[in-house]
Homo-oligomer: A and B are copies of this chain.
Amino acid sequence: MLALGLLAAHAALASGGGEGAVDMLPVLEALALILVLARLGGALFERLKLPAVLGELMAGIVLGNLGLIGFHGFDFLRSLPLVEAMAQLGVLFLLFHVGLESDVGKMAAVGVSATLVAVLGVVAPMLLGLGVAQAFLADHHPLSHWFVGATLSATSVGITARVLGDLGKSASLEGRIILGAAVIDDVLGLIVLAVVTGLIQAADAGRAFDVTGLAVIVGKALGFLLVAVVVGRWLSRVTFRFAARLPGEGLLLSFGLAFCFLASFLAGRAGLAPIVGAFAAGLVLEDVHVQALRERDAQKRDLRHLLEPISSFLVPVFFVLMGMGVDLGVFAQPGVLGFAAALTAAAVLGKQVCSLGAWGPGVDRLAVGLGMIPRGEVGLIFASIGRTLTIGGVRVVDDMVYSAVVVMVAVTTLVTPPLLVWRMRKGQAR
């Protein structure tokens, strides 16, 4: 008893603060496991000439589904918010890095194209999803059908950003269109969710739709993008000019990261996904701003160089955790598979329609369409919001619909890396 009590007390030693102590031991165990499995999965898939990120996802799927064969030794991995937070920082760094590879001018050059791709990419999958819902869920309320369509709207850009980065194609014409469209996509998705949810809540309560609330949401999101581009560029120049006058080491990385975190925080506050802020931070932060600090570094490392080891640590954590979110048990549920297959087809085809909006010298529309396929967490969050909504006492998203969305997310996430690598490498060979 004494031994046990002391062990627990001493474990708290790790957390260096008495009050609010954090138990680091499960986190350390989880990180060791995740890092090794991510690299093993990546290495296996590289040997099979498939993208490493797919191997990391597979490692996660295996870890997350060992319960199906009765092994529950890794179940503790699911309940570690600290590891989840590391994963979230990983995807922020990924998008920050992608933003650094481009700049505002280059993105503006594909602005019209990206906007068209985004709008078509929200409208087309929604309409196709609506059709699928009408066909399979005839007894549901018409607004439920619209909600199912809405879950297909927003692209989740993490996977595509990673594949483009691995291929060194983040700054290609197709890469920029996809990334720009994904940012606009997020704004549009937010609006779609607000409208559909508002209509459902109004219908359920028998009152009118709240237009003011919608205007606030849209205003905040657009306001953030405007502020990020205009004020962000100025702030970046001023900040790094100031930092260059300070003595000491590590200033470039610390101020760069702080800039990224601040933008991500503000994006979140504006109702957007924080990764949109991280991407914007990278976009407005230009090489010339950090030149003076870079010159001071003994090895002349720029921000991308300094970020690389941090990303190399945290990004695979994100993809392993994303894989763990795939519940293979869902595939075995009766009635789910047919609807899920139709929904997935709508998701994939809808984003191929959007590629018609891409234009530019020699643009590869298929590559753009493939890059827009993944839905990831955005679709899942839409679906889980739908579970909390009811019309006349009936849930808008029932278990079957939710499971089908999970399958759609899993399939769109997993098919993208191999398809995109195949297409981009083919484009390179031309």
Q: Which residues of A contact B (CB under 8 A)?
A: 1-3, 6-7, 9-22, 24-25, 27-29, 31-33, 35-36, 38-40, 42-43, 46-47, 52, 78-79, 81-82, 84-85, 87-88, 91-92, 190, 193-194, 197-198, 201, 210, 213-214, 216-217, 243, 246-251, 253-255, 257-259, 261-262, 264-265, 268-269, 271-275, 306-310, 312-313, 316, 318, 321-322, 325, 376-378, 380-381, 383-385
Contact = CB atoms under 8 A, between A and B. Distances in A.
A17 B64 CA distance: 13
Contact of A3 (B31, B47, B217): B217
A29 B265 contact: yes
Contacts of A27: 85
B258 A32 contact: yes
* Interface of chain A, main secondary structure: helix
Nearest to A402: B18
A213 B261 contact: no
Contacts of A198: 2
A274 B24 contact: yes
Given A13-B273, A81-B82, 19 more contacts: A2-B197, A2-B201, A2-B213, A3-B216, A6-B190, A6-B193, A7-B271, A14-B268, A20-B84, A25-B268, A25-B269, A27-B85, A32-B261, A32-B262, A35-B257, A36-B254, A43-B246, A46-B248, A253-B313
A197 B257 contact: no
A9 to B, nearest CB: 5
B210 A12 contact: no
Given A216-B3, A322-B16, A39 B313 contact: no
Contact of A268 (B11, B82, B250): B11
A50 to B, nearest CB: 11
Nearest to A88: B24
Nearest to A82: B85
Contacts of A259: 32
Nearest to A27: B85
B31 A88 contact: no
Contacts of A42: 248
Which of A14, A39, A271 has the most chain B CB within a 10 Å cutoff?
A14
B36 A255 contact: yes
Contacts of A11: 268, 271
10 contacts: A6-B190, A7-B271, A15-B377, A16-B376, A24-B85, A31-B257, A32-B265, A36-B258, A43-B246, A253-B309
A199 B194 CA distance: 63
Given A2-B210, A250-B39, A268-B24, A10 B273 contact: yes
A2 B82 contact: no
B312 A250 contact: yes
Nearest to A250: B312
Given A2-B194, A213-B3, A216-B3, A16 B87 contact: yes
Contacts of A253: 309, 312-313
Contacts of A318: 16
A247 B378 CA distance: 33
Contacts of A46: 247-248
